[in-house]
Amino acid sequence: MNNAKTWFPIALKVLLGSVFIVSAVLKILDMDRFELYIYSYHFFSLNFSFLVARAAIIVELVLGIMLVFNCLHKPIWWGSMAMLVGYTLLLLYAIAIGRTDNCHCFGDVLRFDPKQSILKNGVLMGLFMLVYKAKEWKTPFRILIFCFALMASTIAVFVVSPPDNFTPSYKPEHNLQMELFGEALSNPPLDSLNLTDGKEVICFFLTGCDYCQMAAHKLSLMQQFYGFPAENITFVFMGSREGIERFFERSQSARYRSVLFEDVRNLLKITNGNFPLLVFLDNGNVVHQYGFRSMKEEEIGTFFLPRIK
């Protein structure tokens, strides 16, 4: 009986630690979307959201490892409860502002809306209450284990998924074939849109491309935050009209003006086969070109500023 009382809380801590570790790993595998989820609240800039997302994962990994090793029981217990309470407060805020999207607590593998995730956190906090008086492993190396867990988690997160602003940017300046692009602006289906008058954003997407969907979501978040005109954004698609509908549903992007470019061969030549490709025009002159990872919030945010009153 005494053995059961001793080993049950330890086994439960191992289970809770494993849940934290699995959650952290799934977030790493879904890092691009998790970054956008953090950024979507607009508490932080895009670049700082990269760091916040990784810091959250590192904390979760360290807590999970220490729970599995049953070291530093009280600090880790309080840290775990604080993390769960913090996430729950964020989810309550999400519900208050009407959000129902996936909270990415288990990446894109297990999708939880805010209400479901709050319930999950409540269950975890209840289980943590059961291990409050658990006996920890009294090893003299527990501080060393903590330092190793912190160092290993940090290195793993930044090596597996380095933030875009910490790595050499992929520059798509040579992707757009200028002569063919200019011809496309003067011919159907783009000629009737007056894209050479004033400031315009033209985005070339494949309807089934994950990175195209995330680029659309990222641009949409910036457009809504900075308030630049939605009518000056055009999505040019290669795919089908049914695919365009699925694209908007999956990307969580605002529904900007969209065009299906049916001359596939010509479109592949215009973009040099690179998607997504976002082109910023000022009176027909190309000012910026971006791929998904090279999008710069400050440049995009200020592109339309002269028009904002």
Question: How confident is the model over 240-285, as pLDDT tens digits?
Answer: 889 999 999 999 899 999 999 988 999 999 999 899 999 999 999 9
What per-residue string of b and e applies to 41-60 under the rule 16 or more CB within 10 Å gives b? eeeebbeebbbbbbebbbbb
Q: Bridge partners of 290?
A: 278
> Two tokens at 150?
């912190």
Give the whole-angstrom CA distance, residue 66 versus residue 72: 7
CA 67 to mean position of chain CA atoms: 27
Question: What angle (nearest 5°) sits at the alpha carbon of residue 119, between those of residues 115 and 125?
Answer: 140
Q: Which two tokens stand for residue 107?
A: 């990446």
> Sorting pLDDT into bands at 50, 70 and 90, what band is 9?
confident
Per-residue pLDDT at 1 exceeds 50: no
Question: Residue 16 and residue 65: Cα distance in Å, rounded?
Answer: 10
Of 59, 63, 82, the C-alpha closest to 71 is 63
Tokens of 66: 């220490």
DSSP annotation string for 188-239: TTTGGG-TTSSEEEEEEEETT-HHHHHHHHHHHHHHHHHT--GGGEEEEEES
Tens-place pLDDT, residues 102-137: 999 998 888 999 999 999 999 999 999 999 888 877
309 pLDDT tier (thresholds 50, 70, 90)? very low
> Within 10 A of 221 (CB to CB), how many other CB atoms are there?
20
pTM for this model (two decimals):
0.88
Cis, bond preceding 188 (omega within 30 deg of 0): no
Q: Which residues pair with 204 in a beta bridge?
A: 236, 277
d(CA 10, CA 30): 30
Q: Are 223 and 230 in contact (CB under 8 A)?
A: yes
Quote the CA–CA distance of 232 and 202 in Å, as a whole number.
9
CB atoms < 10 A from the CB of 84, how many? 18
30-55 confidence digits (pLDDT tens): 999 999 999 999 999 999 999 999 99
For 279-306, the pLDDT digits (tens) are 999 999 999 999 999 899 989 988 887 5
pLDDT tens for 165-187 read 766 555 555 578 998 998 999 89
DSSP 225-257: HHT--GGGEEEEEES-HHHHHHHHHHHT----E
Tell me the percentage of the chain whose pLDDT exceeds 70. Answer: 94
- Work out whether strand 199-206 and strand 277-282 pair parallel, antiparallel, or are unpaired: antiparallel
Backbone angles phi, psi at 83, to 5 degrees: -65, -45
d(CA 207, CA 26): 25
pLDDT confidence of residue 166: 67
- Range 160-164 average pLDDT: 88
Residue 205 to residue 275: CA distance in whole angstroms:
6
Averaged over 79-103, what is the pLDDT?
95
Burial class (CB in 10 A: 0-12, 13-18, 19+), 210: middle
φ, ψ dihedrals at 292, nearest 5°: -60, -45
